[in-house]
Amino acid sequence: MNLFTKRRTGIYLVTCVILSLWSCGEDIINTDDYEIDRVTANPSIALPLAYGSVGISDFLNTDDQENIKVYDDGLVYLFYEEKLVTRSVRELLSFPDKSFMKTYPVLGGFLPATTTENERLTVSSTESFAFDPEKLREIKFKEGTSLTFQYQFTPDDPFDDGDPSFDYFDILIELPDFTLNGVSFSERITTQSAPSVFSLEDYVATLDDNEFELKVTLIERAHDNFLVLPPSQVEVEMSFTSIDFQYVRGFFGDQTTGAIPAEAIQVTAFGDALSKSGVSFADPKVTFAVHNEYGIPTSVDFHPLEARKADGTSLPLVFDVPNPVQTSAPAELGEFSITNVSVVNAADLLDFVPEEFYYEVSSRINEGLTTGDNFCTDTSSLDVTMRVEIPLYGTASNIIMADTFEIDLEDIDNTEIETATLVSRVTNELPLNADLQFYLADEEYVIFDSLFAPNQTNIVKASTVTASGELDEPGVSITELEVSKEKMEKLFETKKLILKARMNTPVNASGDPIDVQFKSDYKMDVNFGIKVKLKLDVSLNED
């Protein structure tokens, strides 16, 4: 092939290629090949749903969270403490106003002028408050307690016209048994025109079974000559009013407080869960503590005292001591004494699963006594506190917890879901088995199906326990719950999803329940995930 021929061949080839491309024109690319009708994919989506580390406190009613306590060994217990309404013993010690009227003779005749004072008359007497049944030996008066004196000459002192310069007689009142900072009460009354009032605040009166000494002295002051018309006398009136005490000692008598209206303490632990379940606590404790600041032998009468349910059934509480309960009293003023009383049928009581404690309390002091050395202060109290201590140690069955969720899956094309699998991973240190079921309900809460088959619901395995009921090995359960297509379709029709958990403590080989302990560090670690296999077939044609 010569050079010319080669060149011509090359030019020809290039020309052919260019003409071929050119001749195709707009059809060089067939765009129909790129108008995709549909897109398909089969993704399998795994997603986490929920996780958490749940302790026993999370299962208890929210209202009872503040009542959850932990013993030193970690055992969780519920502790309820309620101060019962009691009638105050102090109310028994109320002292009425007390007045004393004394008349003393004043010799008549001419009184020569004098430049000095003279005691014309001194009279001492023993007086008594005559409180009943109290026999006081000492009382320290409180603010507001007052002592009023008034005297009257008969006939009237002719010179006493209200002008002190003509008033020749004064009255000196002395109460040696009433002292303030070691100084006896002593007051000189200089006028008879108006009562003289003195505060007894902080005075301490030392009495002898309510009695005290009164000393009255008539004092003649310096004066000019004058005549006292016979017969003459002076009347002295002494009144204790608004008697109140900071403390009081003595014997307060055999008295009973009035009955108070019955009271009830609500118990909300576990909500409704326990009431419908078989729960048995192995070692519950119910105690009553009487806190007494009165130095008085006191008995407390609980009548009635019982646990009640809403259905009207009740169970009386039985003490380990006879009722009324004799309480101890403090030995010294300012001290207190506590008397503890246990309820012997506490286990029965908790098994009864009460909703409230119903009680009525009264008290009695110095029962059957005629003498004694009692004391109390104005702030003394006698309180009765009920304590319920429920160690979470025992057995439980059929504890049911439920919650309802609103769902609306109408907008989702459920035909795209081929399968769905709920995956749960639970490491459970709690000695609780749990069955879980989702109930599918309509708008009116009418259940029309459940999500899982009956053999699928046991997704939480209890831990194993030692002979003492403590954790041995955690229960580990990994469960994949496949939801059938039929169930899925019903799920998409669901308006209310009701989650119901049924929990039981484990049983032994014989099927008998084992007493188990719930400790604060026992946790149930849960992870819930879902695996959904989708079949996507998306049409890209608008038609």
Binding positions for another protein, 424-463, rule CB under 8 A: 425
Alpha-carbon gap, residue 434 to 304, rounded angstroms? 40
* Per-residue binder mask for another protein (CB under 8 A), 497-526, x = binder: -----------------------------x
| Beta carbon of residue 485, minimum distance to another protein (angstroms, whole number) | 18
- Least Cα distance to 195 among 150, 142, 164 occurs for 150
| Beta carbon of residue 405, minimum distance to another protein (angstroms, whole number) | 11
* Helix %, strand %, coil % of the chain (to 5): 15, 50, 35
Q: Is 41 in the site for another protein (CB under 8 A)?
A: yes
Burial of 505 (0-12, 13-18, 19+ CB in 10 A): buried
Q: Is 56 in the site for another protein (CB under 8 A)?
A: no
CB closer to another protein, 21 vs 107: 21
| Beta carbon of residue 75, minimum distance to another protein (angstroms, whole number) | 22
Q: Does a cis peptide bond (omega within 30 degrees of 0) precede residue 231? A: yes
Determine the interface stretch with another protein among 22-30, 362-370, 376-384, 461-469 (rule: CB under 8 A). Answer: 22-30
Question: Hey, CA dihedral for 533, 539, 542, 543, is it positive or negative?
Answer: negative
Q: Is 47 in the site for another protein (CB under 8 A)?
A: yes
- Least Cα distance to 265 among 141, 129, 385 occurs for 385
- Least Cα distance to 270 among 57, 518, 11, 477 occurs for 57
Q: Is 29 in the site for another protein (CB under 8 A)?
A: yes
Binding positions for another protein, 60-119, rule CB under 8 A: 62
- Tokens 């831990």 — which residue? 463
Token readout for 185 is 């009460």
Q: Is 51 in the site for another protein (CB under 8 A)?
A: yes
Determine the interface stretch with another protein among 20-28, 136-144, 213-221, 331-339 (rule: CB under 8 A). Answer: 20-28
Determine the interface stretch with another protein among 39-47, 289-297, 302-310, 495-503 (rule: CB under 8 A). Answer: 39-47
Sequence-ordered list of residues with C-beta below 8 angstroms from that of 483, at least 6 positions apart, any chain? 419, 420, 421, 422, 451, 452, 491
Alpha-carbon gap, residue 223 to 71, rounded angstroms? 85
CB closer to another protein, 58 vs 320: 58
CB closer to another protein, 56 vs 147: 56
**Are residues 372 and 468 in contact, defined by beta-carbon separation less than 8 angstroms?**
no
Q: Is 38 in the site for another protein (CB under 8 A)?
A: yes
| Beta carbon of residue 445, minimum distance to another protein (angstroms, whole number) | 22
| Beta carbon of residue 23, minimum distance to another protein (angstroms, whole number) | 9
Strand-strand pairing, 475-483 and 417-428: antiparallel
**Are residues 106 and 228 in contact, defined by beta-carbon separation less than 8 angstroms?**
yes
- For residue 342, what is the enclosing H or E element? strand 337-342
Determine the interface stretch with another protein among 18-26, 72-80, 144-152, 153-161 (rule: CB under 8 A). Answer: 18-26
Q: Is 6 in the site for another protein (CB under 8 A)?
A: yes
Sequence-ordered list of residues with C-beta below 8 angstroms from that of 256, at least 6 positions apart, any chain? 362, 363, 364, 365
Determine the interface stretch with another protein among 28-36, 208-216, 344-352, 354-362 (rule: CB under 8 A). Answer: 28-36
In the DSSP assignment, the letter for residue 221 is: P
CB closer to another protein, 35 vs 163: 35
Using CB under 8 A, which of 153, 212, 270, 528 touches another protein? 528
| Beta carbon of residue 448, minimum distance to another protein (angstroms, whole number) | 26
CB closer to another protein, 18 vs 321: 18
Contact residues: another protein, CB under 8 A? 3, 6-7, 10-11, 14, 17, 20-21, 24, 27-30, 33-54, 58, 62, 423, 425, 526-531, 533-534
